[in-house]
């Protein structure tokens, strides 16, 4: 049985076009046509060399994945797509819509209207095993190909114009590094043309990948799932932290910031009695004192019977935020929650077929609203 590749699998299609002597400049035109014509046949695309039609028919599909299920939140702000892959596995991707005028820039409301952020998955499952994250309960199933990552954007862009992208869905993006880099290069080129400054990659702290991240993907935003200010707490709630000691991680982030000159976004999930006390806020402030960062505090949502943690009270979150802001002058936000009625935000996603539901999670503050 022939296994077809996604036409959005950029390295493969370029290699095949080169081998067949077909000009690779036709590839973006093919991508644009497929985006605009979901059910197209290869012969429908006008003005390609005859060799291109033959090659496309023998080795490629317009999309190897399909939207299996779509859920809209009652306020129509969040849309969750359950996407079935060619191998039968499924991933989720989530569209979050924001009103630009609700954000602030230099203390004033932003101009512009609605914009959409897409939360993308990079793996089926995850091997990091963070104890507060539902995706970890799936274990690691497989990496997504470049095409499967890009196809999430293809499917979503047919429902809403996507301006921002966050890799905060299922999986650890930097553990699927090559496919991630190639997918982002497709997303930032024609016909998608997403600005690199509007793409954020989240990681638990894969040090060797952070060390080359800026060289491979300049001008992107890096978000680090820190979740604890000291190594021992981090190891308790994030087993993978043992392989990426906090001291070495901070050294890598310092080098990244020196090279890139960019702010680093710090994600910090608030777990009652674990990492949310005043002493933890001071430890976090001192740890990040020499960095240019924005800290995003994430109210934890218990995942039914899966959860061994409780949610920090609003008063604790407020005190924590005030310490970081007032004592250490670190910009700190509290993550807005969206799409809970459809269990549909980026982060702790878990596929639970056949009823097509996923764990309740909190959504992120939009990247444009975190900019100073």
**For 97-125, what is each residue's pLDDT tens digit?**
987 666 555 566 666 667 899 999 999 98
- Is pLDDT larger for residue 66 or for residue 348? 66
Residue 47 shares a structural domain with residue 127: no
Q: Which of 21, 36, 61 is the last residue of a domain?
A: 61
Tally of domains within the chain: 2
The pLDDT, as a whole number, for residue 172 is: 95
Q: 345 pLDDT exceeds 80?
A: no
Q: Which of 40, 61, 82 is the last residue of a domain?
A: 61
Which is the catalytic residue, given 16, 63, 92, 126? 92
Size (the chain), residues:
372
- Say which CATH number the domain at 192 has: 3.20.20.70
Q: 47 pLDDT exceeds 70?
A: yes
Per-residue pLDDT reduced to its tens digit, 170-195:
999 999 999 999 999 999 999 999 99
Residue 144 shares a structural domain with residue 284: yes
Per-residue pLDDT reduced to its tens digit, 310-343:
999 999 999 999 999 999 999 999 986 654 554 5
Residue 98 shares a structural domain with residue 55: no
Residue 150 shares a structural domain with residue 39: no
Residue 47 shares a structural domain with residue 182: no
Residue 21 shares a structural domain with residue 88: no
**Quick check: is 346 catalytic?**
yes
Q: Which of 42, 61, 80 is the last residue of a domain?
A: 61
Residue 41 shares a structural domain with residue 144: no
- Is pLDDT larger for residue 112 or for residue 285? 285
Per-residue pLDDT reduced to its tens digit, 233-252:
999 999 989 999 999 999 99
In angstroms, how far apart are the furthest CA atoms of the chain? 68
Classify 83 in phi/psi space as left (phi over 0), alpha (psi -120 to 50) or beta: beta
The pLDDT, as a whole number, for residue 139 is: 80
CA-to-CA separations, 111 to 104, 108, 267, 336, in angstroms, rounded: 9, 9, 27, 20
Per-residue pLDDT reduced to its tens digit, 213-231:
999 999 999 999 999 999 9
The parent domain of residue 159 ranges over 66-368
Confidence of residue 361 (pLDDT cuts 50, 70, 90): very low
Residue 20 shares a structural domain with residue 134: no
The pLDDT, as a whole number, for residue 335 is: 82
Residue 38 shares a structural domain with residue 73: no
**Quick check: is 92 catalytic?**
yes
Count the neighbouring beta carbons within 10 Å of the beta carbon of residue 18.
11
Residue 76 shares a structural domain with residue 27: no
Confidence of residue 308 (pLDDT cuts 50, 70, 90): confident
Which is the catalytic residue, given 126, 267, 346, 368? 346
């Amino acid at each position: 049985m022939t296994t077809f590749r996604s036409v959005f699998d950029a390295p493969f299609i370029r290699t095949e076009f080169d081998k067949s002597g077909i000009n690779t400049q036709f590839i973006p035109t093919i991508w644009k046509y497929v985006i605009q014509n979901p059910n197209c046949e290869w012969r429908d695309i006008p003005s390609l060399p005859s060799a291109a039609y033959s090659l496309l028919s023998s080795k490629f599909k317009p999309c190897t994945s399909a939207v299996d299920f779509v859920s809209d939140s009652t306020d129509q702000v969040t849309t969750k797509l359950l996407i079935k892959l060619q191998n039968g596995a499924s991933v989720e991707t989530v569209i979050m819509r924001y009103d630009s005028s609700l954000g602030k820039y230099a203390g004033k409301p932003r101009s512009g209207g609605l914009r959409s952020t897409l939360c993308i998955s990079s793996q089926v499952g995850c091997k990091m095993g963070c104890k507060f994250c539902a995706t970890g309960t799936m274990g690691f199933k497989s990496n997504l190909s470049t095409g499967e990552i890009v196809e999430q954007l293809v499917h979503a862009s047919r429902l809403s114009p996507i301006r921002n992208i966050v890799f905060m869905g299922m999986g650890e993006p930097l553990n699927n590094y090559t496919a991630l880099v190639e997918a982002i290069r497709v997303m930032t080129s024609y016909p998608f043309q997403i600005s690199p400054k509007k793409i954020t990659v989240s990681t638990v702290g894969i040090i060797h990948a952070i060390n080359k991240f800026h060289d491979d993907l300049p001008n992107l935003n890096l978000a680090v799932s820190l979740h604890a200010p000291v190594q021992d707490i981090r190891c308790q709630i994030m087993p993978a932290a043992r392989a990426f000691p906090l001291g070495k991680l901070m050294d890598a982030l310092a080098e990244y910031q020196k090279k890139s000159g960019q702010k680093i976004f710090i994600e910090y999930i608030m777990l009652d009695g674990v990492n949310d006390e005043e002493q933890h806020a001071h430890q976090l402030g001192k740890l990040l004192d020499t960095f240019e960062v924005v800290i995003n505090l994430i109210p934890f949502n218990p995942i039914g019977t899966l959860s061994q943690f409780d949610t920090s009270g609003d008063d604790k979150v407020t005190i924590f935020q005030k310490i970081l802001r007032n004592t250490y002058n670190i910009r700190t936000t509290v993550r807005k929650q969206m799409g809970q009625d459809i269990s549909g935000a980026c982060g702790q996603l878990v596929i639970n077929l056949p009823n097509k539901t996923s764990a309740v999670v909190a959504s992120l503050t939009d990247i444009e609203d975190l900019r100073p």
